[in-house]
Every structure is written in C-alpha cells, then in structure tokens.
Amino acid sequence: MSKKVAVVEDEAELASLIEYNLTRNGFQVQLLNGAGPTLSDLESWQPDLIVLDVMLPGQDGFDLCRQIRQTRKLARTPIIFLTARSDEVDRVLGLEIGGDDYITKPFSPRELMARIKAHLRRQEADAAPQAALGTGPFRLDRAARRVFQDDREIELTSTEFKLLEFFLTHPGTAWSREQLLKEVWGEQHFVTPRTVDVHIRRIREQIEEKPDEPVFVVTVRGFGYRFEAP
C-alpha cells in the first residue's frame, strides 16, 4: 500500500506542485491550507509523514507541530518543515519542538522527494520487529517504539528515539557529530552537525535530572558525545 503524505501549505500553486511530485512518486496526498481544523484532519487521515509550512493563515506552523507531538496518533510521525523562514533561530526552534527536518524556500522538488523517501525508509526500518533492549534504568521496546526510564515512559519523536536507541546499543564509545549523522540519519542525510546538538539537548531534557549537568549523554569536549551506562 502506498505511503500517505500530508502537505500543510497555504500557497495553492506551491501545494499543487508538491502534490504533483508526490503523486508521480506513488504517494497518496492530503492537501491542507492550515485555515481549518488542521490537527483533527491530520488525526483522521493519519499520514505516514507531514510536510509543514510555518507561516499559515490559521495558526503558526510551530504551534501546530507542538500540538501534533502531543497527540497519541501522530506523536512519532515524521515532520518536515518547508518554509521561507531561513534564520538559524527558526531552524533550531523547528527541530527543538519536534521537527525531523527543515527545508527552506525556494527549494528543489527533487531534493524534497529525496528527503521524504529517506525519512520513510528510516521509519520502516525502525518499525521492523526487534527485541527489547535494557541498559541501566532504560528499557527500550523496539516493536512498540516506546522507551522507559525506570517506570516512567519517555516521550520522544522518531528521530530522538533512533538517536537514544543508538546510544543505548553503543555505551562508552565517543561519537563525533558527523559519525552520529551517518549512523542515525543515514548516508542520505540532509542535515547539519548542529542538528545533532538540538536533538541531544531534547533527549537530555527528558532523561537527565539536571540537563545542564548530564550524567548519561555526556559531551566529549572538542569531539562529540558519549553515552555513559550506569
């Protein structure tokens, strides 16, 4: 069955262009202009991936992303921001609130399709049945895509889950940002080393008692990061 991609974009001509390219590549497409009950429409359709503009007529795309991440049905659905807002502060914010990728306009439709396919491939690989994993206070249920610290479930996006899973399976090893991009985001990643910092900060906020003084995901000065197993 073909994958479903929701496009939340208020520029009709641009939305049609994206729809055309998605359809050509075999995807089912839902177009939303952001003016109506967008969140409920997304929950009803349950797309496999969401392409999301930031500047929407009904609400800010960043706010919509936050709401998506709080829903049960869409919490781990990959989100690609597609927006004219290109400042670094916007890029970082988009990733911090749960976005998996950030593309600025003008953009290449071919690159957008490549990124969509890369995220969906990774999602399929992540969803493959695998054994549960336990390290220290952490228990990771790969089949259900859930992770627990002691008895508390940790809410993570799909990318954060994959990054924490990698750390849990490679304790004690120092990894550079470039190595983490290759191992977690894959060979066809389209993100920068700064993206790693953003996602690690979000993970620390979930698992560390004092995120500014981490004991699990520690910084290796001048190199990258290392996961310390208790």
Strands 133-135 and 79-83, how do they pair?
A: unpaired
Backbone angles phi, psi at 156, to 5 degrees: -130, 150
CATH number of 4-126: 3.40.50.2300
Average pLDDT of the chain is: 89
**129-227, CATH topology level:** Arc Repressor Mutant, subunit A (1.10.10)
List the domain boundaries for the chain.
4-126, 129-227
User: Given this model, what pLDDT does residue 156 score?
Assistant: 86
pLDDT reading at 76 higher than 60: yes
Which of 136, 192, 195, 129 lies closest to 163 in space, CA to CA? 195
Over the stretch 111-147, which tens digit does the pLDDT of each residue have? 999 999 988 987 776 665 455 677 889 988 877 778 8
Backbone angles phi, psi at 168, to 5 degrees: -65, -30
The pTM of this model reads 0.69
Over the stretch 164-190, which tens digit does the pLDDT of each residue have? 999 998 999 999 999 998 888 876 556
Please state, in angstroms and rounded to a whole number, the distance separating the CA atoms of residues 230 and 4: 41
Confirm if 215 and 208 have CB atoms less than 8 A apart: yes
Residue 77's Cβ-count burial label (10 Å; 0-12, 13-18, 19+) is buried
